[in-house]
Amino acid sequence: MTTTEGITIVLHPVSDLEAAKKVYSALLGMQPQADSPYYVGFDAAGQHIGLVPNGGPQGMTSPVAYWQVADIEAKLAELTAAGATVTEPAHNVGGTRWVASVTDLDGNVLGVVEDR
């Protein structure tokens, strides 16, 4: 079994990106480090908090926590063997970062992230 290093990213679907950016800036006490029409991201206290307009292409309807793993493909294999269903296959989201997500038996979405 491969180890998990903890939650490092939490993505939040938002209906109004500009309004949400103000709320999260106030909450975190900082301006975003990434700011575009399709994604706003904050790096705060060792975590990345992302705002995704209208749930993005993955159709998020609630926040998704992404767990840092050393081998994303191995972790996906373990998760599916345990009964989870892949909802977003592993794919590169820029640079050396790869993400994927699964749905557990109760419908919760769990994200995994690997930095290669």
CA distances from 114 to 11, 20, 26, 30, 34 (A): 16, 27, 29, 26, 19
% of the chain surpassing 90 pLDDT: 87
Check if the beta carbon of residue 101 is closer than 8 Å to that of residue 64: yes
pLDDT surpassing 90 at residue 92: yes
The whole-number pLDDT of residue 48 equals 95
The answer on pLDDT for 24 being more than 90 is yes
| Segment 46-67 mean pLDDT | 91
36 conformational bin, left if phi > 0, alpha if psi -120 to 50, beta if neither = beta
pTM of the model: 0.89
* Separation CA 44–CA 9 (nearest Å): 10
Tokens coding 83: 């009964």
In tens, the pLDDT along 26-37 reads 999 999 999 999
